[in-house]
Copies of this chain bind each other. A is one copy, B any other.
Amino acid sequence: MSERLEAQFAFLNEADRLKSVLRATTLVDGSRPENSGEHSWHLALYALVLADQAGPGVSIDRVIRMLILHDLVEIDTGDVPIHARNGQAHASPETLAAEAKAADRIFGLLPSDLGDSLRTLWEEFEAAETPDARFAKSLDRVQPVMANLMSGGGTWATYEVTYGQLESRVGTKIARGAPALWDWVKEKARPWFG
């Protein structure tokens, strides 16, 4: 057991570094950039609170597990903002390859049974094909929209985002897992774009 616990804590101590990965989005009060650790916590809370927005068959507990894990690869790759490089950087082949390599290293710190099961869950999130993963992705997209709205524009101003770009890069993904949520949020967001 001792060897197993050594590996579990090697992973948990390494995971601490996610608290030092900074995102483009700020806190709601605009005081500083958000880090990916606290962002992951906020998303888990989103899942608890917005569970009634999930479609039939979604397991909120699996969604929460995915959201806890979803950004760990950023310890190696850093956060790639959705609106950076005119929206082209986020899912580029280079980014995806770097994230897979990071997953090898980080989940590889764990005992293999545990590392494999957590990595499989992370891959399900990334693929965004199951109802659980789609709902998790919707929450990951909607939280920065709220932070931007609350902080006076945030990354929309930084990256000179248009409403059309918000709709194509963000809205379609929110709508895929939580359509009524996007209907509500877009009415909040649209006025900011004039």
Whether, in the assembled complex, A45 has its beta carbon less than 8 Å from a beta carbon of chain B, the answer is: yes
Whether, in the assembled complex, A177 has its beta carbon less than 8 Å from a beta carbon of chain B, the answer is: no
Contact of A41 among B44, B118, B150 (CB under 8 A): B44
* CA of A37 to CA of B37, assembled, Å: 8
Q: Is B184 touching A46 in the complex (CB atoms < 8 A)?
A: no
* CA of A147 to CA of B13, assembled, Å: 8
Whether, in the assembled complex, A172 has its beta carbon less than 8 Å from a beta carbon of chain B, the answer is: no
Contact of A1 among B19, B20, B146, B180 (CB under 8 A): B180
> In the assembly, how many copies of this chain are there?
2
Q: Interface residues of A: mostly helix, strand, loop or mixed?
A: helix
Contacts of A16 in B (CB 8 A): 27-29, 42, 147, 150
Listed stretches A60-68, A77-85, A128-136; interface member: A60-68
Contact of A184 among B2, B20, B49 (CB under 8 A): B2
- Per the 8 Å Cβ criterion, residues 13-30 of A in contact with B are 13, 15-20, 27-29
